[in-house]
Amino acid sequence: MLTKADKWLIVVLVIFALSGIGLNIYYISGESSQARSVVITVDGQITKTFPLRQGYAGEFRIGGYNGFNVVEYKDGRVRIKEADCPDQICVQSGWISIPPQQIVCLPYRVVIKIISDNSTDVDDIVR
Partner 1 sequence: MSKTKRLVLLALLVAMAAALHVLESQLPIPMPVPGVKLGLANIISLLAILMLGWQEAVYVAVARVLLGSLFGGSLLGPAFVMSMGGALASIFIMVYICNNYEGVFSLVGVSLVGAAVHNITQVILAALLVHSAGLLWYLPYLLLFAVPTGLFTGLAANYCLAKSPAKYGFKN
What residues make contact with partner 1 under the rule CB under 8 A? 1-3, 5-6, 9-10, 13-14, 16-21, 23-24, 41, 43-44, 86-87, 89, 92-93, 100, 102, 104, 106-107, 109-111, 113, 122-123, 126-127
Closer residue to partner 1 (CB): 34 or 41: 41
For the bound state, the minimum distance from the C-beta of residue 32 to partner 1, rounded and expressed in Å, comes to 16
For the bound state, the minimum distance from the C-beta of residue 55 to partner 1, rounded and expressed in Å, comes to 27
Closer residue to partner 1 (CB): 20 or 57: 20
Contact predicate 102/31, CB 8 Å? no
Report strand pairing: 68-74 vs 57-63. antiparallel
Backbone phi, then psi, for 75, in 5-degree steps?
50, 45
Contact predicate 69/83, CB 8 Å? yes
CA distance 11 to 43: 37
CA distance 74 to 60: 12
For the bound state, the minimum distance from the C-beta of residue 75 to partner 1, rounded and expressed in Å, comes to 22
Closer residue to partner 1 (CB): 11 or 57: 11
